């Protein structure tokens, strides 16, 4: 396995190899040498800080960045202003994600003045937008390294260039068809892990920037996914979260096509994996085959995140979502028939251009009909370059704000009722951590994704135990352990 490569055995007097991932291991060895020199000179290891914005895919990418930094000898710190190397893995899905990055850079400006040796890097989705890179080049000279989403696998090479240069290093690719396997990665949790199954998106929902910054859809080979999950299982991981912008279209672009349902069935066979989650599912691609597999699975969690975005067929059409309100509701009916205890969550955008009061009422109607366990609600954010940005009838912000508040109240009332239906049941819980506020409690997750707190200690972390759901507190439960059921899910 590549991640067992000993960097001390890499011969740095040779030219760097051209093939991947060997090339990146060569540059890791070079960075390791830099780290050793730093340590000798300063009497301490250099510290790194990885800050992540955005979705689970970005979080997974950050684990890969952290894995490389750890392999070359950086010590992790959570305190940005104490780090020698800071990297922001950015998101640009809504304007406020961008604002937060500029906010952090503003705060770091005086810190870097005091510590000029500090290196600051930016990567991720925001960097795929040329206007952003221009702005940083002009107004944020404290930045030392910029790269994008397509060449993240080159991190070691870019870091090596950055450590050896006093100039701003910039490397952005427009697109890629490449997937580089076998680079080192870290995991935030020992017992659960995200696993990429596909990258990019071909859907071009008219409001969304993701297809422009993440490029065209490409799936990993099923064997590569299975190999990674087998390795995770042998490292003690019991829960995997399969990640992709649209997992339901997994495998379509492979030379030997494989459906997502089929991939799930193969993952189900892997011993040691007890729970399988996935996100995100696009309603238009959710197949009967997948519903059938979910119905019979022992391991796929009873939870589906199924973004609706709007309840109005008219708006859905303008959003280029390619389903109607009725088709969405039919799909929900079909899912609930096959998997009656399934918990459904969603994403909703309020204030898409042209949204009328009637359109918004249709969204409320879907919320009332589906009765989601929870919903992420977003105010529409105009993204330059997307078709929706140039649509007429952008909705005034005071109207949007009022609709947003009404939607939020409705979603919260319903989800408090829906979540409470399990009160009194005994359910399997994967214990994730000791409770932040009360050290006598642990916090775990139900198959349906709800959190529960109950008496226990850290020896339970990573274990699946049966817990009685005594009291629902809106979005989480308080419970107590029971020992009379077999603990096997
Ligand atoms: N691929 C996933 C979601 C990716 S982005 C999917 O298709 O469901 C996560 C969520 O952000 C989206 O579901 C959408 O609700 C929201 N979103 C995307 N672009 C947005 C925009 N321009 N303004 C507001 N919300 C947006
Ligand atoms: Fe964006 Fe639509 Fe792709 Fe999701 S499916 S990432 S919302 S374009
Ligand atoms: Fe944001 Fe990029 Fe994810 S834009 S939501 S981090 S794919």
Please tell me the distance between residue 245's alpha carbon and the centre of ligand 1 in angstroms.
Answer: 10
Exposure of 438 by Cβ count < 10 A (0-12 exposed, 13-18 middle, 19+ buried)?
exposed
Length of the chain as a residue count? 489
User: In the structure, what pLDDT confidence band is assigned to residue 483 with cuts at 50, 70 and 90?
Assistant: confident
Q: Is the CB of 383 under 6 A from ligand 2?
A: no
The total of other beta-carbon atoms located within 10 Å of residue 161's CB is 17
How much is the pLDDT for 2?
53
Between CA 482 and CA 54 the distance in angstroms is: 38
Residue 205 CA, closest ligand 1 atom number: 7
With a 6 Å cutoff on the Cβ, whether 208 touches ligand 2 is: yes
Nearest ligand for residue 280 CA: 1
Q: Distance (Å, rounded) from C-alpha 152 to C-alpha 158?
A: 9
Position 4 scores a pLDDT of 66
Distance, in Å, from the CA atom of 231 to the CA atom of 237, rounded to the nearest integer, reads: 9
* Tens digits of residue pLDDT in 434-449: 999 999 999 999 999 9
Residue 297 has pLDDT above 80, yes or no: yes
Is the pLDDT confidence value at 453 over 70? yes
pLDDT in the model for residue 176? 85
Determine whether the shortest distance from the Cβ of 282 to ligand 2 is under 6 A.
yes
pLDDT tier for residue 489 given thresholds of 50, 70 and 90: very low
Per the DSSP assignment, residues forming a β-bridge with 90 are 124
What tens digit of pLDDT does each residue of 333-366 get?
999 999 999 999 999 999 999 999 999 999 999 9
Query: Which pLDDT does position 485 carry in this prediction?
Result: 53
9-18 burial: b if 16+ Cβ within 10 Å, else e? ebeeeeebee
Q: Which residues, in sequence order, are CB contacts of 299 under 8 Å at separation 6+?
A: 267, 268, 273, 274, 275, 276, 489
Taking a C-beta distance cutoff of 8 angstroms, is the pair 244, 202 a contact?
no
Ligand number nearest to the C-alpha of 97: 3
Ligand 2 centre to CA of 129 (Å) is: 17
CA distance 82 to 116: 12
- For ligand 2, the distance from its centroid to the CA atom of residue 278, given in whole angstroms, is 15
Q: Which atom of ligand 2 is nearest to the CA of 209?
A: 1
Strands (E), 19-112: 47-52, 75-76, 85-90
The DSSP bridge pattern shows strands 476-481 and 451-455 to be parallel
Query: Who contacts 160 (Cβ-Cβ below 8 Å, separation ≥6)?
Result: 27, 30, 31, 34
Cα(93) to centroid(ligand 1), Å: 7
For residues 307-333, give the mean pLDDT: 98
Q: Ramachandran region of residue 96, left (φ > 0), alpha (ψ -120 to 50) or beta?
A: alpha
User: What confidence tens digit (pLDDT) does each residue in 124-168 have?
Assistant: 999 999 999 999 999 999 999 999 999 999 999 999 999 999 999
How much distance in Å is there from the Cα of 385 to the middle of ligand 1? Answer: 15
Strand order of the β-sheet with 374-379 is: 303-305, 343-350, 374-379
Is 214 touching ligand 3 by the criterion CB < 6 Å? yes
Ligand 3 site, residue 386, Cβ cutoff 6 A? no
CA–centroid distance, 250 to ligand 2, in Å, is: 14
Q: From the CA of 460, how far away is ligand 3's center (Å)?
A: 33
d(CA 381, CA 389): 9
Angle in degrees, 0-180, between the axes of helices 357-370 and 325-338, rounded to the nearest 10:
10
Average per-residue pLDDT for the chain:
95
Is the pLDDT assigned to residue 488 strictly greater than 70? no
Residue that wins the pLDDT comparison between 180 and 212: 212
Cα torsion at 185, 189, 191, 197 (round to 10°)? -50
Peptide bond preceding 21 in cis form (omega within 30 of 0): yes
**Ligand 1 atom 19 nearest Cα:** 208
Asked if residue 312 has its Cβ within 6 Å of ligand 2, the reply is no
Closest among 325, 413, 411, 416 to 367, alpha carbons compared: 411
Return the pLDDT at 52.
97
Q: Compute the distance between CA of residue 357 and CA of residue 382 in angstroms, rounded to an integer.
A: 20
The string of pLDDT tens digits covering residues 7-51 is: 999 999 999 999 999 999 999 999 999 999 999 999 999 999 999
Per-residue confidence band for 487, with pLDDT thresholds at 50, 70 and 90: low
Q: Give, as one character, the DSSP assignment of residue 300.
A: B
Q: Which residues contact 312 (CB under 8 A, 6 or more apart)?
A: 325, 355, 358, 359, 360, 362, 363
Is the minimum distance from the CB of 108 to ligand 3 under 6 angstroms? no
Q: In the structure, what pLDDT confidence band is assigned to residue 187 with cuts at 50, 70 and 90?
A: confident
Give me the mean pLDDT over the 250-267 stretch.
Answer: 96
Q: Which of 199, 172, 178, 135 is nearest to 23 (CA)?
A: 178
Ligand 3 pocket check for 92: Cβ under 6 Å: yes
Helices (H), ranges, 164-319: 210-214, 222-234, 260-268, 288-296, 313-318
Reply yes or no on whether the pLDDT at 280 is more than 90: yes
C-alpha 441 to ligand 1 mean position (Å): 35
For 64-110, the pLDDT digits (tens) are 999 999 999 999 999 999 999 999 999 999 999 999 999 999 999 99
Q: How far is the CA of 66 from the centre of ligand 3 (A)?
A: 18
Has residue 484 got a pLDDT over 80? no
Starting at the edge strand found earlier in the chain, the sheet holding 75-76 runs: 75-76, 47-52, 85-90, 119-124, 145-147, 169-171
Ligand nearest to the backbone CA of 279 = 1
Largest interatomic CA distance in the chain = 69
């Amino acid at each position: 396995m590549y991640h067992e490569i000993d960097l001390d055995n890499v011969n740095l007097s040779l030219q760097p190899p051209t093939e991947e991932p060997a090339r990146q291991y060569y540059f890791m060895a070079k960075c390791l040498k830099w780290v050793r020199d730093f340590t000798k000179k300063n009497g301490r290891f250099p510290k790194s800080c990885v800050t992540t914005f955005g979705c689970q895919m970005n979080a997974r990418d950050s684990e890969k960045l952290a894995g490389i930094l750890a392999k070359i000898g950086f010590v992790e710190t959570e305190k940005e202003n104490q780090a020698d190397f800071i990297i922001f893995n950015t998101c640009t899905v809504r304007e406020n994600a961008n604002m937060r990055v500029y906010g952090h850079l503003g705060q770091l400006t005086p810190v870097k003045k005091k510590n000029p040796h500090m290196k600051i890097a930016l990567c991720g989705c925001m960097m795929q937008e040329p206007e952003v890179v221009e702005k940083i080049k002009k107004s944020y000279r404290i930045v030392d390294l910029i790269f994008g989403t397509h060449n993240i696998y080159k991190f070691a090479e870019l870091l090596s260039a950055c450590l050896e240069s006093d100039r701003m290093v910039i490397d952005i690719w427009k697109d890629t068809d490449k997937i580089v396997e076998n680079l080192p990665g870290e995991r935030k949790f020992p017992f659960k892990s995200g696993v990429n199954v596909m990258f990019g998106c071909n859907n071009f929902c008219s409001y969304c920037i993701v297809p422009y910054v993440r490029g065209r859809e490409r799936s990993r080979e099923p064997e590569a996914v299975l190999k990674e999950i087998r390795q995770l299982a042998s490292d003690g991981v019991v829960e995997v979260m399969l990640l992709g912008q649209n997992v339901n279209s997994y495998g379509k672009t492979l030379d030997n096509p494989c459906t997502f349902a089929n991939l799930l069935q193969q993952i189900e066979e892997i011993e040691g994996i007890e729970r399988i989650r996935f996100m995100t599912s696009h309603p238009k691609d959710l197949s009967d085959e997948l519903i059938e597999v979910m119905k019979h699975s022992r391991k796929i969690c009873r939870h589906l995140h199924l973004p609706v975005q709007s309840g109005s067929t008219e708006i859905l059409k303008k959003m280029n979502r390619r389903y109607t309100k009725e088709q969405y509701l039919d799909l929900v009916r079909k899912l609930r028939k096959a998997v009656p205890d399934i918990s459904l969550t969603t994403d909703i955008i309020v204030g898409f251009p042209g949204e009328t009061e009637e359109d918004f009422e249709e969204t409320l109607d879907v919320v009332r009909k589906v009765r989601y366990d929870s919903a992420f609600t977003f105010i529409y954010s105009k993204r330059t370059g997307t078709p929706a940005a140039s649509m007429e009838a952008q909705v005034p912000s005071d109207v949007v704000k009022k609709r947003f508040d009404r939607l939020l109240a409705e979603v919260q009332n319903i989800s408090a009722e829906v979540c409470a239906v399990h009160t009194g049941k005994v359910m399997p819980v994967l214990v994730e951590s000791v409770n932040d506020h009360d050290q006598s409690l642990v916090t775990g997750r139900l198959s349906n994704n709800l959190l529960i707190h109950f008496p226990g200690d850290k020896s339970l972390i990573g274990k699946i135990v049966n817990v009685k759901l005594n009291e629902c507190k809106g979005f989480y439960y308080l419970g107590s352990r029971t020992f009379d059921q077999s603990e096997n899910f």
